[in-house]
Amino acid sequence: MGVERFVFASSGAVLGDAEPPLHEGLVPRPLSPYGAGKLVGEAYCCAYAGSFGMRTVALRFANVYGPFSRHKRTAVPIFIARCLAGEPLEIYGDGSQTRDFIYVEDLCEGIYRALVAEGTAGEVFQLGTGVETSVSELADTVHELLGGSEVVYRPARSGEVRRSMIDVSKARSMLSFDASVELREGVQRTAQWLRSSR
């Protein structure tokens, strides 16, 4: 086939509403078609490694944010954009739901390390920060950095995972990966990019 290495962008959504910290040993139980589709991709990666010797790696991304994320319908870019526009921040549910937010530069470093690492064919890695942040805490951080914007609470969405935080020990051990950009700094960088690109 001519393809020696293949890195698949997967998601923690394959694990469904598993109790954090999320790690590679948990049994996948996706709650959404999106998560089910990612699980199928992981299975194909494993099968191609086993059947054809292709050096595949599946990476389960945490919640990615950063510059060039204007199109993403996720909390960080939406909160920043609404704050910059003077619009209220909308939280679905009570705000206690949590996520592991990873800055895009850290994610890219993890992808690169997975691409060049040896002895990882057919492996799955969780890529995140290992820090659990509630949506309310995120809203507070954005509000503190950018000012303005009241918070409006909406009904919770069905099929949404309550808690998410990544156990990064396997990526740390086999890929020598550790995220370095803290949420506050990442939000500042993202806001700066969104301002300059308006």
Amino acid 134 reads S
- pLDDT tens digits for 69-118? 878 888 999 999 999 999 999 999 999 999 999 999 999 999 999 999 99
List, in order, residues 6 or more apart from 75 with CB less than 8 Å away: 63, 99, 101, 135, 138
Q: Which domain holds residue 34?
A: 5-196
Indicate which CATH number applies to the domain containing 126: 3.40.50.720
Q: What is the pLDDT of residue 58?
A: 98
Q: Tell me, yes or no, if the pTM score tops 0.75.
A: yes
Q: What is the pLDDT of residue 90?
A: 94
Catalytic residues: 34
Q: Burial of 35 by CB count in 10 Å (0-12 exposed, 13-18 middle, 19+ buried)? A: buried
* Domain tally, the chain: 1
Low-confidence ranges of the chain (pLDDT < 70): 1
| DSSP, res 121 | T
